[in-house]
A and B are shown apart, each in its own frame.
Chain A
Protein backbone atom coordinates (compact mmCIF):
# COMPACT_ATOMS: atom_id res chain seq x y z
CA UNK A 1 0.00 0.00 0.00
CA UNK A 2 2.63 2.45 1.17
CA UNK A 3 4.98 2.12 -1.73
CA UNK A 4 2.06 2.50 -4.10
CA UNK A 5 1.37 5.89 -2.61
CA UNK A 6 5.02 6.77 -2.76
CA UNK A 7 5.25 5.96 -6.42
CA UNK A 8 2.25 8.03 -7.15
CA UNK A 9 3.66 10.94 -5.22
CA UNK A 10 7.09 10.83 -6.77
CA UNK A 11 5.60 10.62 -10.21
CA UNK A 12 3.43 13.61 -9.63
CA UNK A 13 6.48 15.60 -8.74
CA UNK A 14 8.53 14.50 -11.69
CA UNK A 15 6.19 14.77 -14.59
CA UNK A 16 4.47 17.69 -16.15
CA UNK A 17 0.78 17.81 -15.27
CA UNK A 18 -0.32 17.74 -18.88
CA UNK A 19 1.29 14.36 -19.61
CA UNK A 20 -1.41 12.19 -21.12
CA UNK A 21 0.62 9.02 -21.33
CA UNK A 22 3.32 8.23 -18.85
CA UNK A 23 5.49 5.17 -19.30
CA UNK A 24 8.01 4.68 -16.53
CA UNK A 25 10.64 1.94 -16.40
CA UNK A 26 8.52 -0.51 -18.31
CA UNK A 27 9.88 -3.93 -19.12
CA UNK A 28 7.94 -6.69 -20.77
CA UNK A 29 9.01 -10.28 -20.67
CA UNK A 30 7.13 -13.16 -22.16
CA UNK A 31 7.63 -16.59 -20.75
CA UNK A 32 6.85 -18.81 -23.65
CA UNK A 33 6.82 -22.58 -23.62
CA UNK A 34 9.64 -23.76 -25.87
CA UNK A 35 7.13 -25.90 -27.74
CA UNK A 36 3.46 -25.31 -28.01
CA UNK A 37 1.67 -27.82 -25.84
CA UNK A 38 -2.05 -27.72 -26.10
CA UNK A 39 -3.09 -31.11 -25.00
CA UNK A 40 -3.11 -32.80 -21.68
CA UNK A 41 -1.27 -35.93 -22.77
CA UNK A 42 1.79 -34.06 -23.97
CA UNK A 43 1.74 -31.85 -20.91
CA UNK A 44 1.72 -34.84 -18.56
CA UNK A 45 4.46 -36.68 -20.43
CA UNK A 46 6.68 -33.62 -20.58
CA UNK A 47 5.92 -32.81 -16.98
CA UNK A 48 6.91 -36.26 -15.76
CA UNK A 49 10.04 -36.28 -17.93
CA UNK A 50 10.80 -32.76 -16.72
CA UNK A 51 10.99 -31.54 -20.27
CA UNK A 52 8.77 -28.53 -19.79
CA UNK A 53 11.04 -25.81 -21.07
CA UNK A 54 10.32 -22.15 -21.21
CA UNK A 55 12.03 -19.42 -23.14
CA UNK A 56 12.03 -15.95 -21.72
CA UNK A 57 11.70 -13.31 -24.34
CA UNK A 58 12.43 -9.79 -23.30
CA UNK A 59 10.51 -7.60 -25.69
CA UNK A 60 10.86 -4.26 -23.95
CA UNK A 61 13.72 -3.27 -21.70
CA UNK A 62 13.27 -0.53 -19.15
CA UNK A 63 11.47 2.00 -21.29
CA UNK A 64 10.47 5.42 -20.01
CA UNK A 65 8.91 8.31 -21.84
CA UNK A 66 5.89 10.52 -21.71
CA UNK A 67 3.56 12.05 -24.24
CA UNK A 68 1.88 15.34 -23.57
CA UNK A 69 -1.70 16.14 -24.32
CA UNK A 70 -2.24 17.19 -27.92
CA UNK A 71 1.11 15.90 -29.07
CA UNK A 72 1.48 13.27 -31.75
CA UNK A 73 4.21 10.70 -31.61
CA UNK A 74 5.26 8.24 -34.27
CA UNK A 75 6.89 5.02 -33.18
CA UNK A 76 9.47 3.73 -35.61
CA UNK A 77 11.31 0.45 -35.58
CA UNK A 78 11.94 -2.67 -37.53
CA UNK A 79 9.89 -5.84 -37.34
CA UNK A 80 9.97 -7.37 -33.89
CA UNK A 81 11.44 -4.31 -32.23
CA UNK A 82 8.59 -4.22 -29.72
CA UNK A 83 6.45 -1.46 -31.21
CA UNK A 84 3.17 -3.33 -31.16
CA UNK A 85 3.84 -4.69 -27.68
CA UNK A 86 4.36 -1.15 -26.48
CA UNK A 87 1.06 -0.05 -27.99
CA UNK A 88 -0.73 -3.01 -26.46
CA UNK A 89 0.72 -2.10 -23.08
CA UNK A 90 -0.47 1.47 -23.41
CA UNK A 91 -3.87 0.29 -24.58
CA UNK A 92 -4.12 -1.86 -21.48
CA UNK A 93 -4.32 -5.18 -23.27
CA UNK A 94 -1.19 -6.48 -21.57
CA UNK A 95 0.18 -5.60 -18.21
CA UNK A 96 3.88 -4.81 -18.01
CA UNK A 97 6.18 -7.24 -16.22
CA UNK A 98 7.80 -4.30 -14.50
CA UNK A 99 7.12 -0.62 -14.29
CA UNK A 100 4.01 1.48 -14.56
CA UNK A 101 1.94 2.97 -17.31
CA UNK A 102 -0.54 5.73 -16.76
CA UNK A 103 -3.02 7.10 -19.20
CA UNK A 104 -5.19 10.03 -18.21
CA UNK A 105 -8.12 10.04 -20.57
CA UNK A 106 -10.11 7.91 -22.96
CA UNK A 107 -8.29 5.66 -25.36
CA UNK A 108 -9.32 4.26 -28.71
CA UNK A 109 -6.86 1.63 -29.82
CA UNK A 110 -6.88 0.94 -33.55
CA UNK A 111 -4.66 -2.09 -33.52
CA UNK A 112 -6.65 -3.94 -36.11
CA UNK A 113 -9.47 -2.59 -38.18
CA UNK A 114 -12.66 -4.48 -37.76
CA UNK A 115 -11.56 -6.58 -34.80
CA UNK A 116 -14.71 -8.21 -33.54
CA UNK A 117 -16.66 -7.92 -36.75
CA UNK A 118 -19.03 -10.79 -37.26
CA UNK A 119 -18.89 -12.10 -40.85
CA UNK A 120 -22.43 -13.47 -40.67
CA UNK A 121 -24.03 -10.21 -39.61
CA UNK A 122 -24.79 -7.36 -41.98
CA UNK A 123 -22.69 -4.23 -42.22
CA UNK A 124 -25.34 -2.29 -40.35
CA UNK A 125 -25.51 -4.75 -37.46
CA UNK A 126 -21.74 -4.72 -37.26
CA UNK A 127 -21.68 -0.94 -36.94
CA UNK A 128 -23.90 -1.22 -33.88
CA UNK A 129 -22.01 -4.17 -32.42
CA UNK A 130 -18.67 -2.44 -32.86
CA UNK A 131 -20.05 0.84 -31.58
CA UNK A 132 -21.19 -0.93 -28.44
CA UNK A 133 -17.68 -2.20 -27.88
CA UNK A 134 -16.47 1.38 -28.02
CA UNK A 135 -19.01 2.36 -25.39
CA UNK A 136 -21.93 3.78 -27.30
CA UNK A 137 -25.55 3.00 -26.72
CA UNK A 138 -27.88 2.15 -29.56
CA UNK A 139 -29.31 5.65 -29.51
CA UNK A 140 -25.94 7.33 -29.83
CA UNK A 141 -24.99 4.98 -32.63
CA UNK A 142 -28.17 5.81 -34.52
CA UNK A 143 -27.09 9.43 -34.54
CA UNK A 144 -23.62 8.57 -35.74
CA UNK A 145 -24.73 5.94 -38.22
CA UNK A 146 -25.22 8.17 -41.26
CA UNK A 147 -21.89 9.91 -40.93
CA UNK A 148 -20.13 6.56 -40.50
CA UNK A 149 -21.71 5.15 -43.64
CA UNK A 150 -20.92 8.29 -45.54
CA UNK A 151 -17.30 8.27 -44.48
CA UNK A 152 -16.85 4.60 -45.35
CA UNK A 153 -18.57 5.15 -48.72
CA UNK A 154 -20.50 1.93 -48.28
CA UNK A 155 -24.08 3.17 -48.54
CA UNK A 156 -25.17 0.47 -50.97
CA UNK A 157 -23.67 -2.42 -49.02
CA UNK A 158 -24.87 -1.86 -45.47
CA UNK A 159 -27.56 -4.53 -45.59
CA UNK A 160 -25.24 -7.18 -46.98
CA UNK A 161 -23.54 -9.72 -44.72
CA UNK A 162 -19.98 -8.77 -43.98
CA UNK A 163 -18.58 -11.99 -45.40
CA UNK A 164 -19.41 -10.66 -48.87
CA UNK A 165 -17.34 -7.51 -48.35
CA UNK A 166 -13.88 -7.10 -49.81
CA UNK A 167 -11.06 -6.73 -47.30
CA UNK A 168 -10.69 -3.06 -48.21
CA UNK A 169 -14.36 -2.47 -47.53
CA UNK A 170 -14.09 -4.11 -44.11
CA UNK A 171 -11.10 -1.97 -43.22
CA UNK A 172 -12.91 1.16 -44.37
CA UNK A 173 -15.91 0.37 -42.23
CA UNK A 174 -13.68 -0.39 -39.24
CA UNK A 175 -11.82 2.87 -39.62
CA UNK A 176 -15.00 4.88 -40.07
CA UNK A 177 -16.50 3.55 -36.84
CA UNK A 178 -13.35 4.01 -34.84
CA UNK A 179 -12.66 7.60 -35.81
CA UNK A 180 -16.21 8.78 -35.32
CA UNK A 181 -15.32 8.94 -31.64
CA UNK A 182 -13.37 11.81 -30.21
CA UNK A 183 -10.89 10.08 -27.94
CA UNK A 184 -8.18 11.78 -25.91
CA UNK A 185 -5.72 9.25 -27.23
CA UNK A 186 -5.86 7.51 -30.58
CA UNK A 187 -3.52 4.57 -30.96
CA UNK A 188 -2.89 3.45 -34.52
CA UNK A 189 -0.91 0.36 -35.40
CA UNK A 190 -0.08 0.21 -39.09
CA UNK A 191 -3.70 0.05 -40.06
CA UNK A 192 -3.54 2.96 -42.42
CA UNK A 193 -2.05 0.91 -45.23
CA UNK A 194 -5.48 -0.23 -46.35
CA UNK A 195 -7.92 0.78 -49.01
CA UNK A 196 -7.04 2.63 -52.18
CA UNK A 197 -4.97 5.78 -52.37
CA UNK A 198 -8.02 8.02 -52.19
CA UNK A 199 -9.20 6.41 -48.99
CA UNK A 200 -5.75 6.53 -47.45
CA UNK A 201 -5.71 10.22 -48.17
CA UNK A 202 -9.09 10.55 -46.50
CA UNK A 203 -7.85 8.69 -43.43
CA UNK A 204 -4.82 10.93 -43.14
CA UNK A 205 -7.05 14.00 -43.39
CA UNK A 206 -9.38 12.63 -40.74
CA UNK A 207 -6.48 12.01 -38.41
CA UNK A 208 -5.12 15.51 -38.88
CA UNK A 209 -8.54 16.98 -38.19
CA UNK A 210 -8.74 14.91 -34.99
CA UNK A 211 -5.30 16.20 -34.04
CA UNK A 212 -6.53 19.74 -34.47
CA UNK A 213 -9.37 19.13 -32.02
CA UNK A 214 -6.84 18.04 -29.41
CA UNK A 215 -6.60 14.30 -29.85
CA UNK A 216 -3.23 12.84 -29.03
CA UNK A 217 -1.93 10.37 -31.58
CA UNK A 218 0.36 7.40 -31.16
CA UNK A 219 1.23 5.93 -34.53
CA UNK A 220 3.28 2.86 -35.28
CA UNK A 221 4.84 2.62 -38.67
CA UNK A 222 7.71 1.20 -40.68
CA UNK A 223 7.47 4.15 -42.93
CA UNK A 224 9.48 7.18 -41.91
CA UNK A 225 7.71 9.41 -44.41
CA UNK A 226 4.29 8.68 -42.94
CA UNK A 227 5.57 9.49 -39.47
CA UNK A 228 7.07 12.73 -40.73
CA UNK A 229 3.77 13.67 -42.30
CA UNK A 230 1.52 12.98 -39.33
CA UNK A 231 3.67 13.41 -36.25
CA UNK A 232 5.61 16.14 -34.59
CA UNK A 233 7.96 13.92 -32.66
CA UNK A 234 9.05 10.33 -33.05
CA UNK A 235 10.30 7.48 -30.94
CA UNK A 236 12.68 4.95 -32.39
CA UNK A 237 12.79 1.55 -30.79
CA UNK A 238 15.41 -1.04 -31.52
CA UNK A 239 15.46 -4.47 -29.86
CA UNK A 240 13.23 -3.30 -27.06
CA UNK A 241 15.17 -0.18 -26.20
CA UNK A 242 14.66 3.45 -27.01
CA UNK A 243 17.31 4.67 -29.41
CA UNK A 244 16.02 8.15 -29.92
CA UNK A 245 13.05 10.27 -28.88
CA UNK A 246 13.13 13.60 -30.57
CA UNK A 247 11.76 15.72 -33.37
CA UNK A 248 10.16 13.61 -36.09
CA UNK A 249 12.46 14.90 -38.85
CA UNK A 250 15.64 14.05 -36.96
CA UNK A 251 14.50 10.64 -35.81
CA UNK A 252 13.19 9.53 -39.15
CA UNK A 253 16.39 10.63 -40.86
CA UNK A 254 18.46 8.65 -38.38
CA UNK A 255 16.14 5.66 -38.70
CA UNK A 256 16.29 5.75 -42.49
CA UNK A 257 20.08 5.91 -42.37
CA UNK A 258 20.18 2.94 -40.03
CA UNK A 259 17.92 0.91 -42.28
CA UNK A 260 20.13 1.64 -45.29
CA UNK A 261 23.23 0.58 -43.45
CA UNK A 262 21.96 -2.93 -42.87
Chain B
Protein backbone atom coordinates (compact mmCIF):
# COMPACT_ATOMS: atom_id res chain seq x y z
CA UNK B 1 0.00 0.00 0.00
CA UNK B 2 1.33 3.38 -0.88
CA UNK B 3 1.21 5.85 1.88
CA UNK B 4 -0.32 9.14 1.00
CA UNK B 5 1.53 12.11 2.25
CA UNK B 6 2.59 15.57 1.39
CA UNK B 7 5.89 17.13 1.97
CA UNK B 8 6.25 20.84 2.19
CA UNK B 9 9.56 22.40 2.88
CA UNK B 10 7.85 25.44 4.37
CA UNK B 11 6.51 24.07 7.63
CA UNK B 12 7.85 26.94 9.66
CA UNK B 13 6.28 29.38 7.26
CA UNK B 14 2.99 27.54 7.63
CA UNK B 15 3.07 27.98 11.39
CA UNK B 16 3.95 31.63 11.11
CA UNK B 17 1.15 32.14 8.67
CA UNK B 18 -1.33 30.46 11.00
CA UNK B 19 -0.36 32.67 13.91
CA UNK B 20 -0.57 35.83 11.80
CA UNK B 21 -3.91 34.81 10.38
CA UNK B 22 -5.23 34.01 13.81
CA UNK B 23 -4.37 37.38 15.28
CA UNK B 24 -5.78 39.33 12.37
CA UNK B 25 -8.95 37.24 12.38
CA UNK B 26 -9.53 37.82 16.08
CA UNK B 27 -8.86 41.49 15.54
CA UNK B 28 -11.39 41.54 12.73
CA UNK B 29 -14.03 39.61 14.68
CA UNK B 30 -13.84 41.96 17.64
CA UNK B 31 -13.96 45.05 15.44
CA UNK B 32 -16.81 43.80 13.28
CA UNK B 33 -19.14 43.56 16.24
CA UNK B 34 -19.40 47.28 16.59
CA UNK B 35 -18.50 48.46 13.12
CA UNK B 36 -20.37 51.53 11.91
CA UNK B 37 -21.53 52.44 15.40
CA UNK B 38 -20.93 55.95 16.73
CA UNK B 39 -19.25 54.85 19.93
CA UNK B 40 -17.26 52.12 18.19
CA UNK B 41 -14.86 50.17 20.38
CA UNK B 42 -16.40 51.71 23.50
CA UNK B 43 -19.36 49.38 23.04
CA UNK B 44 -17.21 46.38 23.87
CA UNK B 45 -17.23 47.57 27.47
CA UNK B 46 -20.47 49.53 27.48
CA UNK B 47 -22.58 46.70 26.10
CA UNK B 48 -21.73 44.14 28.80
CA UNK B 49 -21.92 46.86 31.44
CA UNK B 50 -25.46 47.91 30.51
CA UNK B 51 -26.54 44.30 30.17
CA UNK B 52 -25.10 43.55 33.59
CA UNK B 53 -26.97 46.41 35.18
CA UNK B 54 -30.28 45.23 33.72
CA UNK B 55 -29.74 41.61 34.72
CA UNK B 56 -28.55 42.55 38.19
CA UNK B 57 -31.55 44.85 38.75
CA UNK B 58 -34.10 42.30 37.56
CA UNK B 59 -32.75 39.38 39.54
CA UNK B 60 -32.10 41.40 42.67
CA UNK B 61 -35.72 42.50 42.55
CA UNK B 62 -37.08 38.99 42.00
CA UNK B 63 -34.95 37.21 44.55
CA UNK B 64 -34.58 40.13 46.89
CA UNK B 65 -31.26 38.99 48.28
CA UNK B 66 -28.32 40.98 49.42
CA UNK B 67 -25.67 38.35 49.07
CA UNK B 68 -25.21 34.73 48.04
CA UNK B 69 -22.40 32.44 49.18
CA UNK B 70 -20.73 35.47 50.69
CA UNK B 71 -20.72 37.52 47.50
CA UNK B 72 -22.78 40.65 46.90
CA UNK B 73 -25.75 39.31 44.91
CA UNK B 74 -25.51 41.45 41.71
CA UNK B 75 -21.82 40.58 41.45
CA UNK B 76 -22.69 36.92 42.07
CA UNK B 77 -25.03 36.98 39.06
CA UNK B 78 -22.70 38.97 36.86
CA UNK B 79 -19.67 36.79 37.51
CA UNK B 80 -21.64 33.70 36.57
CA UNK B 81 -23.04 35.42 33.52
CA UNK B 82 -19.76 36.50 31.99
CA UNK B 83 -18.29 33.03 32.45
CA UNK B 84 -21.28 31.42 30.80
CA UNK B 85 -21.29 34.20 28.22
CA UNK B 86 -17.81 33.17 27.13
CA UNK B 87 -19.00 29.63 26.54
CA UNK B 88 -22.10 30.86 24.74
CA UNK B 89 -20.40 33.27 22.33
CA UNK B 90 -17.44 31.00 21.67
CA UNK B 91 -19.45 27.91 20.85
CA UNK B 92 -22.34 29.47 19.01
CA UNK B 93 -20.01 31.51 16.80
CA UNK B 94 -17.77 28.54 16.15
CA UNK B 95 -20.67 26.25 15.25
CA UNK B 96 -21.18 27.49 11.66
CA UNK B 97 -17.59 28.65 11.12
CA UNK B 98 -16.46 25.90 8.76
CA UNK B 99 -19.44 26.29 6.48
CA UNK B 100 -19.22 30.08 6.51
CA UNK B 101 -15.58 30.00 5.47
CA UNK B 102 -16.05 27.50 2.65
CA UNK B 103 -14.38 29.87 0.23
CA UNK B 104 -11.19 29.96 2.24
CA UNK B 105 -11.24 26.23 2.90
CA UNK B 106 -11.64 25.30 -0.73
CA UNK B 107 -9.41 27.90 -2.30
CA UNK B 108 -6.51 28.47 0.04
CA UNK B 109 -4.14 26.39 2.07
CA UNK B 110 -5.41 27.58 5.38
CA UNK B 111 -5.10 25.37 8.45
CA UNK B 112 -8.63 24.20 9.22
CA UNK B 113 -8.29 24.52 12.98
CA UNK B 114 -7.87 28.27 12.65
CA UNK B 115 -11.59 28.91 12.35
CA UNK B 116 -12.80 27.40 15.64
CA UNK B 117 -9.72 28.72 17.44
CA UNK B 118 -10.20 32.27 16.19
CA UNK B 119 -13.82 32.26 17.34
CA UNK B 120 -12.89 31.04 20.81
CA UNK B 121 -10.09 33.61 21.08
CA UNK B 122 -12.47 36.39 20.03
CA UNK B 123 -14.80 35.31 22.81
CA UNK B 124 -11.89 35.41 25.25
CA UNK B 125 -11.12 38.98 24.19
CA UNK B 126 -14.76 39.87 24.76
CA UNK B 127 -14.55 38.23 28.15
CA UNK B 128 -11.67 40.53 29.05
CA UNK B 129 -13.74 43.56 28.04
CA UNK B 130 -16.59 42.25 30.19
CA UNK B 131 -14.11 41.96 33.05
CA UNK B 132 -13.54 45.71 32.79
CA UNK B 133 -17.28 46.20 33.03
CA UNK B 134 -17.39 43.86 36.03
CA UNK B 135 -14.63 45.86 37.71
CA UNK B 136 -16.66 49.02 37.19
CA UNK B 137 -19.63 47.42 38.93
CA UNK B 138 -17.36 46.24 41.75
CA UNK B 139 -15.88 49.71 42.16
CA UNK B 140 -19.34 51.19 42.58
CA UNK B 141 -20.26 48.60 45.21
CA UNK B 142 -16.98 48.40 47.12
CA UNK B 143 -18.63 48.61 50.53
CA UNK B 144 -20.96 45.66 49.80
CA UNK B 145 -20.27 42.15 51.26
CA UNK B 146 -17.47 40.14 49.70
CA UNK B 147 -16.41 42.84 47.27
CA UNK B 148 -12.76 43.71 46.94
CA UNK B 149 -9.88 43.56 44.54
CA UNK B 150 -7.84 40.61 45.74
CA UNK B 151 -4.51 39.43 44.36
CA UNK B 152 -6.20 36.10 43.60
CA UNK B 153 -7.77 37.84 40.60
CA UNK B 154 -4.47 37.21 38.83
CA UNK B 155 -5.48 33.54 38.70
CA UNK B 156 -7.95 34.60 36.01
CA UNK B 157 -5.11 35.14 33.60
CA UNK B 158 -3.45 31.89 34.51
CA UNK B 159 -4.65 29.17 34.79
CA UNK B 160 -8.32 30.04 34.66
CA UNK B 161 -8.88 31.64 31.25
CA UNK B 162 -6.71 29.23 29.24
CA UNK B 163 -8.50 26.31 30.85
CA UNK B 164 -11.92 27.75 30.14
CA UNK B 165 -10.89 28.55 26.57
CA UNK B 166 -9.67 24.99 26.01
CA UNK B 167 -12.96 23.64 27.28
CA UNK B 168 -14.90 25.90 24.90
CA UNK B 169 -12.55 24.98 22.07
CA UNK B 170 -13.22 21.28 22.55
CA UNK B 171 -16.95 21.84 22.31
CA UNK B 172 -16.49 24.17 19.33
CA UNK B 173 -14.49 21.55 17.43
CA UNK B 174 -17.23 18.99 17.92
CA UNK B 175 -20.08 21.34 17.03
CA UNK B 176 -18.35 22.72 13.93
CA UNK B 177 -17.71 19.20 12.68
CA UNK B 178 -21.27 18.00 13.22
CA UNK B 179 -22.69 21.14 11.62
CA UNK B 180 -21.04 20.26 8.33
CA UNK B 181 -23.06 17.07 8.04
CA UNK B 182 -26.19 18.01 9.95
CA UNK B 183 -27.43 21.55 10.05
CA UNK B 184 -29.94 20.45 12.69
CA UNK B 185 -27.29 20.77 15.34
CA UNK B 186 -27.68 24.54 15.32
CA UNK B 187 -31.23 24.32 16.61
CA UNK B 188 -30.59 21.42 18.93
CA UNK B 189 -27.62 23.18 20.46
CA UNK B 190 -29.45 26.43 21.07
CA UNK B 191 -32.03 24.53 23.13
CA UNK B 192 -29.34 22.56 24.93
CA UNK B 193 -27.50 25.77 25.69
CA UNK B 194 -30.56 27.27 27.36
CA UNK B 195 -31.04 24.12 29.40
CA UNK B 196 -27.37 24.13 30.30
CA UNK B 197 -27.59 27.75 31.42
CA UNK B 198 -30.41 26.99 33.84
CA UNK B 199 -28.62 23.92 35.17
CA UNK B 200 -25.64 26.08 36.03
CA UNK B 201 -25.92 28.08 39.25
CA UNK B 202 -25.78 31.53 37.68
CA UNK B 203 -28.40 33.29 39.79
CA UNK B 204 -29.17 30.63 42.37
CA UNK B 205 -26.81 28.60 44.51
CA UNK B 206 -26.60 24.88 45.01
CA UNK B 207 -27.19 25.43 48.75
CA UNK B 208 -30.63 26.80 47.93
CA UNK B 209 -31.50 23.70 45.90
CA UNK B 210 -30.15 21.36 48.54
CA UNK B 211 -32.90 22.35 50.94
CA UNK B 212 -35.60 21.13 48.54
CA UNK B 213 -34.03 18.33 46.55
CA UNK B 214 -31.70 15.53 47.40
CA UNK B 215 -30.46 15.07 43.82
CA UNK B 216 -28.23 18.10 43.96
CA UNK B 217 -25.16 15.98 43.25
CA UNK B 218 -26.44 15.63 39.69
CA UNK B 219 -25.90 19.34 39.18
CA UNK B 220 -22.31 18.89 40.23
CA UNK B 221 -21.71 16.68 37.22
CA UNK B 222 -22.02 19.83 35.15
CA UNK B 223 -18.52 21.07 34.30
CA UNK B 224 -19.72 24.67 34.06
CA UNK B 225 -20.55 24.52 37.77
CA UNK B 226 -16.83 24.19 38.51
CA UNK B 227 -15.81 26.94 36.10
CA UNK B 228 -18.37 29.33 37.59
CA UNK B 229 -17.55 28.60 41.23
CA UNK B 230 -13.83 28.80 40.55
CA UNK B 231 -14.29 32.32 39.20
CA UNK B 232 -16.38 33.37 42.19
CA UNK B 233 -13.80 31.94 44.58
CA UNK B 234 -11.06 34.11 43.14
CA UNK B 235 -13.34 37.13 43.21
CA UNK B 236 -13.78 36.49 46.93
CA UNK B 237 -10.04 36.24 47.42
CA UNK B 238 -9.86 32.49 48.00
CA UNK B 239 -7.42 30.23 46.24
CA UNK B 240 -9.44 27.25 45.00
CA UNK B 241 -8.36 23.84 46.27
CA UNK B 242 -6.02 21.53 44.43
CA UNK B 243 -8.94 19.23 43.76
CA UNK B 244 -10.87 22.00 42.00
CA UNK B 245 -7.84 22.72 39.85
CA UNK B 246 -7.62 19.03 39.04
CA UNK B 247 -11.27 18.86 38.02
CA UNK B 248 -10.91 21.93 35.78
CA UNK B 249 -7.76 20.60 34.14
CA UNK B 250 -9.38 17.24 33.52
CA UNK B 251 -12.45 18.75 31.90
CA UNK B 252 -10.50 21.27 29.82
CA UNK B 253 -7.81 18.99 28.54
CA UNK B 254 -10.18 16.07 28.14
CA UNK B 255 -12.78 18.05 26.23
CA UNK B 256 -10.19 19.72 24.04
CA UNK B 257 -8.51 16.40 23.24
CA UNK B 258 -11.78 14.69 22.36
CA UNK B 259 -12.86 17.64 20.23
CA UNK B 260 -9.55 17.90 18.46
CA UNK B 261 -9.40 14.21 17.62
CA UNK B 262 -12.97 14.26 16.35
CA UNK B 263 -12.25 17.32 14.23
CA UNK B 264 -8.95 16.07 12.98
CA UNK B 265 -10.22 12.76 11.72
CA UNK B 266 -13.22 14.28 10.00
CA UNK B 267 -11.46 17.18 8.36
CA UNK B 268 -10.40 15.35 5.22
CA UNK B 269 -14.02 14.96 4.31
CA UNK B 270 -15.11 18.49 5.18
CA UNK B 271 -14.90 19.82 1.66
CA UNK B 272 -17.04 17.03 0.28
CA UNK B 273 -19.92 17.66 2.59
CA UNK B 274 -20.20 21.40 2.92
Across the interface, which residues of B come within 8 angstroms of A115, CB to CB? Answer: 103-104, 107-108
Asked if B28 and A125 make an inter-chain contact with CB atoms under 8 angstroms apart, the answer reads yes
- For B1, give its contact among A3, A25, A103 (CB under 8 Å): A3
Across the interface, which residues of B come within 8 angstroms of A91, CB to CB? Answer: 108-109
- For B4, give its contact among A93, A95, A131 (CB under 8 Å): A95
Asked if A111 and B108 make an inter-chain contact with CB atoms under 8 angstroms apart, the answer reads yes
Asked if A133 and B110 make an inter-chain contact with CB atoms under 8 angstroms apart, the answer reads yes
Instruction: Render A80-100 as a binary contact track against B, CB cut-off 8 A, 1 for contact.
Output: 000000001001111111111
Asked if A38 and B32 make an inter-chain contact with CB atoms under 8 angstroms apart, the answer reads no
- Cα distance A75–B225 when bound, in Å? 59
Asked if B20 and A100 make an inter-chain contact with CB atoms under 8 angstroms apart, the answer reads no
- Cα distance A102–B14 when bound, in Å? 16
Across the interface, which residues of B come within 8 angstroms of A14, CB to CB? Answer: none
Interface of A is mostly: mixed
Chain A: residues with Cβ within 8 Å of the partner, total of: 49
- Min Cβ gap A130→B in Å is 9
Residues 8-23 of B at the A interface (beta carbon under 8 Å): 8-10, 13-14, 16-17, 20-21, 23
- Cα distance A129–B28 when bound, in Å? 8
Across the interface, which residues of B come within 8 angstroms of A138, CB to CB? Answer: 20, 24
- For A100, give its contact among B5, B9, B105, B181 (CB under 8 Å): B5
Asked if A93 and B184 make an inter-chain contact with CB atoms under 8 angstroms apart, the answer reads no
Stretch at the interface among A39-47, A227-235, A236-244: A39-47
- Cα distance A9–B23 when bound, in Å? 40
B149 interface hit (Cβ, 8 Å): no
Residues 99-139 of B at the A interface (beta carbon under 8 Å): 101, 103-110
- Cα distance A1–B101 when bound, in Å? 35
Nearest-CB residue, chain B, relative to A90: B6
Across the interface, which residues of A come within 8 angstroms of B104, CB to CB? Answer: 115-116, 133
B271 interface hit (Cβ, 8 Å): yes
- Min Cβ gap A189→B in Å is 9
- Cα distance A30–B269 when bound, in Å? 10
Asked if A132 and B24 make an inter-chain contact with CB atoms under 8 angstroms apart, the answer reads yes
- For A3, give its contact among B3, B14, B101 (CB under 8 Å): B3
- Cα distance A128–B27 when bound, in Å? 11
B272 interface hit (Cβ, 8 Å): yes
A120 interface hit (Cβ, 8 Å): yes
A190 interface hit (Cβ, 8 Å): no
- Cα distance A4–B7 when bound, in Å? 12
- Cα distance A3–B28 when bound, in Å? 46
- Cα distance A138–B21 when bound, in Å? 10
- Cα distance A39–B13 when bound, in Å? 39
With A93-B107, A109-B109, A111-B107 in contact, is A128–B24 under 8 Å at CB? Answer: yes
A137 interface hit (Cβ, 8 Å): yes
A53 interface hit (Cβ, 8 Å): no
B182 interface hit (Cβ, 8 Å): yes
Asked if A43 and B24 make an inter-chain contact with CB atoms under 8 angstroms apart, the answer reads no
A106 interface hit (Cβ, 8 Å): yes
- Cα distance A116–B14 when bound, in Å? 17
Across the interface, which residues of A come within 8 angstroms of B264, CB to CB? Answer: none
Nearest-CB residue, chain A, relative to B109: A92
- Cα distance A79–B109 when bound, in Å? 23
- Cα distance A161–B224 when bound, in Å? 40
A104 interface hit (Cβ, 8 Å): yes
Return 11 A-B CB contacts under 8 Å, by A number: A4-B3, A25-B2, A97-B4, A98-B4, A103-B6, A103-B8, A106-B13, A109-B108, A116-B110, A133-B108, A135-B20
Question: Which residues of B pack against A, CB within 8 Å?
Answer: 1-10, 13-14, 16-17, 20-21, 23-25, 28, 31-32, 35, 101, 103-110, 181-184, 268, 271-272
Besides A99-B2, A103-B8, A133-B110, 5 more A-B contacts (Cβ < 8 Å) are: A4-B3, A102-B6, A111-B108, A118-B32, A132-B25
